[in-house]
Structure 1
Amino acid sequence: MIEPVTLSDLESNDEPAYELRLFVTGASINSIRAIANLKHICDMYIPGRYSLEIIDVYQQKALAESEQIIALPLLIKKLPMPQRRLIGDMSDTAKVLKGLGISTGSE
Structure 2
Amino acid sequence: MSKAYELRLYVAGKTTKSVAALNNLKKYCEEHLKGQYSIEVIDLLVHPQLAEGDQILAIPTLVKKVPEPVRKIIGDLSNEEKVLVGLDIRTKQL
TM-score, structure 2 as length reference: 0.92
CA distance in 2, matches of 1:37, 1:88: 11
- The equivalent of 1:101 in structure 2 is 88
Structure 2 SS opposite 1:68: coil
1:83 equivalent in alignment to 2:70: yes
Would you say 1:33 and 2:24 are equivalent positions? Answer: no
Report the RMSD for the aligned CA atoms in angstroms.
Answer: 1.6
Q: Which runs of 5+ in 1 are unaligned?
A: 1-7, 11-16
Q: In the TM superposition, what whole-angstrom CA distance separates every residue of 1:55-87 from its partner, at most 9, and x where no partner exists?
A: 000001111122221000000000111110000
After TM superposition, what 4+ stretches of structure 1 lie above 3 angstroms from structure 2? Answer: none
Counterpart amino acid of 2:5?
Y
1:92 has 2:79 as partner: yes
- For the residues of structure 2 that align with 1:102 and 1:66, how far apart are their CA atoms? 25
What is the 5 A alignment of 1:54-69? 54-69=41-56
Percent of aligned positions that are identical: 47
In 2, Cα distance between the equivalents of 1:78 and 1:44?
20
TM-score by length of 1: 0.81
* Count of residues in correspondence between the two structures: 93
- Which whole-Å deviations, capped at 9, do the CAs of 1:11-52 have from their partners, x for residues lacking one? xxxxxx000000001000000000000000000000000010
